[in-house]
């Protein structure tokens, strides 16, 4: 069993396990629930204790005894009956099969004190690649009482030799919408589900009737109303791309003949698996896999994508007409959303120029002549801010989602400053790309979020630098910032370390404070320290209230 750090995953590490024949992974089960942040803290503490115990220079017998006592204590704690009121929604298992063949994995949950009762068992077929298996709680509780002590087995079946598997999350979980976050003051639960940012289309018998390599381009017919569906989603700011097994040049000529070529970004047309094409699209557009919807007429292709990319939503091509009415496609139409595709096309031009700067990325950014405009939120830009708060994940440093009424209430709060950020450079406009809230009484930045379009362009660095200078000069106090760290925003959260912001308490105090504040870290920049500035971004203020103090 080997621990592999994986900070960007839901579970902060993976377990690489090599099973000998008849080997099994076993644990006492328990359905007590913790927040993700608390669970991670407990896991880190347990790991530190175990590592220290192994490294401490003790006699072998003492070390073996201490390890056994620690294991016994952990086992007793895990085996104790759950007395909590909240129940999980399911058991979630993440597993990667690196073998070249299928592995049949048995999941068994069995009551410890009632061996005569029927256990819960599920046979899982692990094809090569990644799998996320969700087992609903009601399937398990139909056979065993999870409030009483029980055990969980994972056993690879029918393996004549050793088998290697990688495990991520193996936990009872509940979905975010069911948690207490939906009950926080000022927030309404999101009941609409995950919103789609990009629809990825197959071509043959999906976008058109017929098969290109068999029927030829002259016999292909565009599906009825499909152009209108694509245009309707495009107006909402939902992007389109292609993952198709075809000859690329021939397929692109047909798409151009149907006058749809301007709608498709980063098309992936080759003879490779479509899951690979979808991964490339997500990377090039810089969006999450869980914001992609894949449409295909082939059940095989849909299942291949689901197996390799379980976060991606899939839809049979027969249902393409339902897209504009689907809940995950219900997003507000704004002037910004209607230009989103063009903004991405301009970004492609930027990347072409960036390649000519070789490894001098900062020189390329200066060549772009990026300008960041800062203005307060108003009724005129409130709708775009609302859209931004609903769509942003990777660069949302608070994790908050605001409905329109909450945003309007912010306008009348005398203690809060709101900032709406727009950005442009020599290639064109990025549109509205950021939103922030500062409580000027401390001063403390309570919210900061950016569109992923400006990620890695130092815009977040420039804005934070501008804010710290402004409030330190205005109040003569240290500047504070709230940061709810998640696996999705951790890479972007490096900006706080880049600007030398520091946690406000020592480690033990910080743990308690973070728990009390629902996982939010409190960061500080001391007033006596010089604010770093790389000078890459020019900042423009268009309101007298936002004039930077000298």
What is the C-alpha separation between 250 and 217, in angstroms, rounded? Answer: 8
The answer to whether the Cα torsion of 462, 467, 470, 472 is positive or negative is negative
- pLDDT band of residue 188 (cuts 50, 70, 90) is very low
Of 215-219, 253-257, 501-505, the one with minimum mean pLDDT is 501-505
Instruction: Tell me the DSSP string of 50-72.
Output: HHHHHHS---HHHHHHHHHHHHH
Nearest CA to 202 out of 238, 255, 249 is that of 255
Q: Where are the domains of the chain?
A: 2-174, 198-329, 358-546
pLDDT band at residue 331 under the 50/70/90 scheme: confident
More confident residue, 71 or 242: 242
Q: What is the pLDDT of residue 230?
A: 94
Long-range contacts of 173-180 (CB under 8 A, 24+ apart): 173/88, 173/89, 173/90, 173/91, 173/92, 174/33, 174/86, 174/87, 174/88, 174/89, 175/89, 178/89, 179/35
Measured in whole angstroms, the distance separating CA 84 from the mean position of its chain's CA atoms is: 29
Does domain 358-546 fall under CATH 3.40.630.30? My reply is yes
Strand partners, 450: 434
User: CA angle, 453 as apex, 229 and 228 as ends, to 5°?
Assistant: 10
Both structure tokens of 317: 């091509």
Whether 198-329 shares its CATH topology with 358-546 is answered: no
What is the spatial distance between Cα 284 and Cα 281, in angstroms, rounded to a whole number? 5
Mean pLDDT of 214-219: 90
pLDDT in tens, 450-509: 887 777 788 999 999 999 999 999 999 999 999 988 877 787 888 999 999 998 864 444
Q: How confident is the model at residue 363 (pLDDT cuts 50, 70, 90)?
A: confident
* Residue 123 DSSP label: E
Band of pLDDT at residue 177, cut at 50, 70 and 90: very low
Q: Which residue has the tokens 């704690």?
A: 77
Question: Residue 223 has what pLDDT?
Answer: 93
Model confidence at 515, pLDDT cuts 50, 70, 90, reads very low
What DSSP state is assigned to residue 396?
A: B
Chain position carrying tokens 């047909």: 254
Q: How confident is the prediction for the chain on average, in pLDDT? A: 82
Residue 281: pLDDT over 50: yes
Tokens at 107, concatenated: 């999941």
DSSP label of 33: -
Whether this prediction's pTM lies above 0.85 is answered by: no
| Residues 245, 248, 251, 255, CA torsion sign | positive
Q: Under 8 Å CB-to-CB from 393, ≥6 apart: which residues?
A: 288, 291, 488, 489
Structural tokens at position 282? 């997500």
- Greatest Cα pair distance, the chain, in angstroms, is 81
- CATH architecture assignment, domain 198-329: 3-Layer(aba) Sandwich (3.40)
DSSP per-residue codes, 471-526:
HHHHHSS-EEEEEE--TTTTTTTHHHHHTT-EESS-HHHHHHHHHHTTTEEEEEE-
Q: How confident is the model at residue 86 (pLDDT cuts 50, 70, 90)?
A: low
């Amino acid at each position: 069993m080997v621990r592999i750090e994986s900070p960007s995953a839901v579970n902060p590490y993976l377990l690489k396990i090599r099973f000998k024949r008849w080997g099994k992974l076993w644990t006492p089960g328990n359905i007590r629930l913790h927040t993700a942040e608390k669970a991670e803290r407990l896991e880190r503490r347990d790991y530190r204790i175990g590592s220290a115990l192994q490294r401490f220079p003790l006699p072998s017998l003492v070390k073996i005894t201490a390890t056994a006592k620690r294991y016994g204590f952990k086992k007793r704690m895990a085996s104790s009956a759950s007395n909590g009121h909240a129940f999980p929604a399911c058991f979630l298992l993440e597993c990667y099969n690196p073998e070249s063949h299928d592995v049949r994995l048995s999941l068994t949950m069995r009551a410890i004190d009632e061996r005569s009762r029927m256990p819960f068992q599920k046979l899982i077929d692990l094809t090569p690649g990644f799998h996320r298996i969700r087992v609903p709680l009601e399937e398990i509780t139909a056979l065993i009482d999870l409030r009483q002590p029980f055990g969980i087995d994972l056993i690879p079946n029918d393996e004549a030799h050793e088998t290697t598997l990688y495990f991520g999350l193996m936990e009872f979980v509940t979905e975010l919408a069911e948690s207490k976050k939906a009950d926080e003051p000022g927030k309404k639960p999101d009941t609409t589900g995950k919103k789609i940012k990009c629809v990825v289309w197959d071509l043959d018998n999906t976008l058109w009737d017929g098969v290109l390599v068999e029927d030829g381009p002259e016999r292909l017919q565009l599906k009825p109303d499909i152009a209108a569906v694509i245009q309707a989603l495009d107006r909402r700011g939902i992007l389109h791309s292609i993952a198709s097994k075809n000859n690329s040049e021939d397929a692109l000529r047909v798409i151009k003949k149907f006058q749809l070529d301007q709608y498709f970004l980063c098309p992936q047309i080759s003879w490779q698996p479509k899951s690979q094409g979808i991964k490339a699209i997500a990377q090039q557009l810089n969006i999450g896999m869980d914001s992609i919807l894949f449409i295909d007429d082939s059940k095989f292709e849909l299942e291949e994508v689901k197996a390799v990319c379980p976060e991606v939503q899939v839809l049979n091509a027969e249902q393409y007409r339902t897209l504009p009415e689907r809940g995950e496609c219900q997003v507000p139409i704004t002037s910004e959303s209607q230009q989103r595709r063009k903004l991405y096309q301009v970004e492609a031009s930027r990347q072409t120029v960036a390649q000519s700067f070789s490894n001098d990325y900062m020189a390329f950014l200066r060549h772009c002549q990026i300008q960041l405009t800062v203005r307060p939120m108003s009724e005129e830009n409130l709708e775009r801010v609302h859209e931004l708060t609903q769509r942003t994940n990777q660069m949302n440093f608070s994790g908050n989602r605001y409905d329109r009424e909450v945003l309007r209430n912010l306008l009348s709060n005398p203690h809060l400053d709101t900032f709406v950020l727009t950005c442009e450079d020599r290639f064109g406009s990025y549109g509205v790309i950021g939103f922030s809230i500062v409580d000027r009484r401390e001063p403390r930045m309570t919210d900061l979020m950016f569109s992923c379009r400006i990620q890695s362009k130092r815009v977040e660095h420039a804005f934070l630098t501008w804010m710290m200078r402004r409030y330190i000069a205005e109040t003569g106090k240290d500047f504070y910032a709230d940061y709810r760290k998640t696996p999705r925003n951790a890479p972007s959260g490096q900006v706080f370390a880049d600007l030398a912001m520091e946690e406000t308490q020592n480690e033990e105090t910080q743990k308690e404070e973070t728990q009390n504040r629902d996982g939010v870290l409190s960061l500080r920049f001391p007033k006596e320290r010089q604010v770093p500035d790389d000078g890459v971004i020019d900042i423009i203020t268009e309101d007298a209230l936002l004039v930077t103090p000298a």
